[in-house]
Amino acid sequence: MRHIKLVISYDGTDYVGWQVQPNGRSIQQCLESAWASVSGEQLRITASGRTDSGVHALGQVCSFATKSQLPTQQIVRAINAETPFDISVLTAEEAPDGFHAIRDAKQKTYRYHVQYGRIMDPLRLRTCWYVPGEIDLESMQKAAVLITGEHDFASFESAGAERSTTIRNVIDLQVTPESVHNFPGLEIAITANGFLYNMVRNIVGTLIRVGKNREEIEWVAWVRDQKNRRHAGQTAPAHGLFLDHVVY
């Protein structure tokens, strides 16, 4: 039995998310169907994270065990020939016995894109959150420091996915300016040893409140310490979020 590691990219707009669900087409479903067409095997492909409906990926990592002897170079071409154009396998490689995309992950990086200003960029409706008006980038950067490090992130966890602990280590959190198509914007990049359900999107929504001068910088530390989701900002829309890469 071989263990295969895939790195894939996808536009999540037209999918119900990564995981197979009865109410629509998922990324996992498309990949498993493609592999069945290529190899004749019906098997489960595991991803490092179950991205929600509308969330995108630049470097999602997947794993599966197979009896197929198809060379890894051919695996990339064969699966891409069977998947929709908004899903691409970037690389395929032999993985150590027992490799598991979730259990073996050490850290992940997500990127969230925001466009702001008086006019919305019509070319980025599927890939960023439009926030009308100006944003105080410096205040957001100072507030981001208050979330960096090991904390209990219960205030930033949405209901629906119970965990044994809500303590996580945010290794890096950067808010940087980003101009695309001459429209002002920003990127929030966050690296952690693990993420709670909707943690990134809830952190983004909280930081945006500071950026819009609706809350003081220190409010973010207060929210963090309350360990209660109802005190944080809104959950930022899914379509601005990208899973960037995973470290093993």
Beta strand 241-247 with 56-66 is parallel
> Amino acid letter at 87?
I
Place of tokens 């998947």: 83
Quote the Cα angle for 87-92-94, to 5°.
Answer: 150
DSSP labels for 173-213? EEEEEEEETTEEEEEEEEEES---TTHHHHHHHHHHHHHTT
Q: Name the active-site residue from 52, 152, 172, 244.
A: 52
Helix, strand, or coil here: 245? strand
Nearest to 100 by CA among 163, 47, 28, 36: 47
Helix, strand, or coil here: 154? helix
Number of H helices, E strands in the chain: 5, 10
Q: Determine phi and psi for 19, rounding to 5 degrees.
A: -75, 140
Is 86 part of the annotated catalytic residue set? no
Helix, strand, or coil here: 119? coil
Alpha-helical runs (H) found in the chain: 27-39, 72-82, 137-145, 199-211, 219-226
Catalytic residues: 52
